[in-house]
Amino acid sequence: MENFLLAELKKAAQWIDAAIKSSTFPDAVRPDFLAQAMRAYPEVGGKRLRPAIMLWSAAAAGGDMQKVVPAAAALEVFHNWTLVHDDIIDGDETRRNQPTAHVVLAQAIDMAEHRRSKFGCDMAILAGDLMQAWAFDFIDQCDCSAGLKLKLARELRDCGYLKLVSGEAEDVVMSYRYAGDVSEAEMFAMQTGKTGALLHYAARAGWMLGKGYPEAWDEPEAVALGRFGDALALAFQLRDDYLGVFGKLEEFGKPIGSDLQEGKATLLLIHALKNLPASEEEKLSKLLYLESYTAEDLEQARQLFRQCSSVEYMLDAIKKYSAEAVDALTVLPDSDGKKLLQLLTEYLINREK
């Protein structure tokens, strides 16, 4: 079954790649380096999760997946502008093993070295802005009624801006606080916006596109698919946070320990800081914000997470949300699309990378 999933995921990724590469929208942008920056993230591509979910939800609704490609490309480009602006905000220098947008743009023109970093960030702000327009241009290219296009754009503004950007802002604010003072509810609310909103949109808008009329957004199956997206996002993010401490560097892209270095309020850390005895809590908090992490530092942190059962607590939460995701799908009639959404959930919560 995993082969079926991977083959379908690959097919979806190829469709999205082709749609993005053949779009001429960025061609009118000047200077050329800014047009190239718009294309860089969407063309390199990641897992293409969001488009795949949208395509499979459309299939579950009895729609033609290929007709949904422009809307799925819109979603992927939309996701990528948020990454461009996030990378500026987080000061990240690599993504998908490539230099981030602001790092590339810092080298775009000849200038004094000390001014490059500011220039790169300024241009990356504008590249992200332009990508927002590109996403909505893709919606405009959909083979559907004007009313459905407007509905797609309206719900993307709700999910992709009001919910996602609010979640991103809450995440930034949270990063200035001690993780032990952040509640689980706050963290989950933030993640439901930051990660959940676009998965919610992907699944729910996919159903609507499969049906072909705007009213389908509120059909019980669409609402259930929205819950699927919400729950899958939390399970996915929890697995990410788990791998950030217990993963293997060779497989997981991100350096193990970087979440500890940032003092990131993951469920693991929130739970441990609240449940460890005071002396052990102090040990754990001394393992946050270090310049670098030795194998011993990481092993000590893992030991503390195990000691207060934070690992079990985390793994239980992953199971709970993935079960919620799969459960939400039961309302759908049986189909390949539904099967793929189920398989994807299993796959994502068991991944090592």
Least Å distance between CB 321 and its own copies? 22
178 binds its own copies (CB under 8 A): no
Among 10, 11, 115, 248, binds its own copies (CB under 8 A): 115
H-helix or E-strand spanning residue 99: strand 98-99
Which of 83, 332 has the CB closer to its own copies?
83
In the block, tokens 């500026």 appear at 88
Least Å distance between CB 131 and its own copies? 9
6 binds its own copies (CB under 8 A): no
Burial class from Cβ neighbours inside 10 Å (0-12, 13-18, 19+) for residue 179 reads buried
Separation of alpha carbons 85 and 89, rounded Å: 6
H-helix or E-strand spanning residue 98: strand 98-99
Region of 47-55, 153-161, 247-255, 329-337 interacting with its own copies (CB under 8 A) = 153-161
Residues sharing a CB contact under 8 Å with residue 162, sequence separation 6 or more, in sequence order: none
Query: How many positions of this chain bind its own copies (CB under 8 A)?
Result: 47
92 binds its own copies (CB under 8 A): no
Whether the Cβ atoms of residue 51 and residue 202 lie closer than 8 Å to each other: yes
Distances in Å between the Cα of 223 and the Cα atoms of 40, 172, 202, 258, 293 are 34, 29, 12, 36, 44
154 binds its own copies (CB under 8 A): yes
70 binds its own copies (CB under 8 A): no
186 binds its own copies (CB under 8 A): no
Least Å distance between CB 14 and its own copies? 27
H-helix or E-strand spanning residue 222: helix 220-246
123 binds its own copies (CB under 8 A): yes
Secondary structure class of 95 (helix, strand, coil): strand
Separation of alpha carbons 23 and 15, rounded Å: 12
Which of 175, 335 has the CB closer to its own copies?
175
Whether the Cβ atoms of residue 321 and residue 236 lie closer than 8 Å to each other: no
133 binds its own copies (CB under 8 A): yes
Tokens matching residue 215: 């009213």
18 binds its own copies (CB under 8 A): no
128 binds its own copies (CB under 8 A): yes
Q: In 3D, which of 319, 318, 325 has the Cα closest to residue 341?
A: 325
Among 47, 64, 125, 307, binds its own copies (CB under 8 A): 125
Which of 122, 143 has the CB closer to its own copies?
122
149 binds its own copies (CB under 8 A): yes
Least Å distance between CB 350 and its own copies? 33
Separation of alpha carbons 282 and 148, rounded Å: 55
129 binds its own copies (CB under 8 A): yes
Secondary structure class of 94 (helix, strand, coil): strand
Give phi and psi for 58, each to the nearest 5. -65, -40
103 binds its own copies (CB under 8 A): no
Among 29, 59, 106, 329, binds its own copies (CB under 8 A): 29
Whether the Cβ atoms of residue 268 and residue 311 lie closer than 8 Å to each other: yes
306 binds its own copies (CB under 8 A): no
Region of 141-149, 205-213, 269-277, 340-348 interacting with its own copies (CB under 8 A) = 141-149
216 binds its own copies (CB under 8 A): no
Which of 22, 24 has the CB closer to its own copies?
24
Query: Residue 7 corresponds to which amino acid?
Result: A
Separation of alpha carbons 338 and 63, rounded Å: 13
Which of 158, 324 has the CB closer to its own copies?
158
Separation of alpha carbons 85 and 101, rounded Å: 9
Please report, as ranges, the residues that interact with its own copies according to CB under 8 A.
25, 28-31, 34, 85, 88-89, 109, 111, 115, 119, 122-123, 125-126, 128-130, 132-133, 136-137, 140, 145-147, 149-150, 153-154, 157-158, 160-163, 165-166, 168-170, 172-173, 176, 193
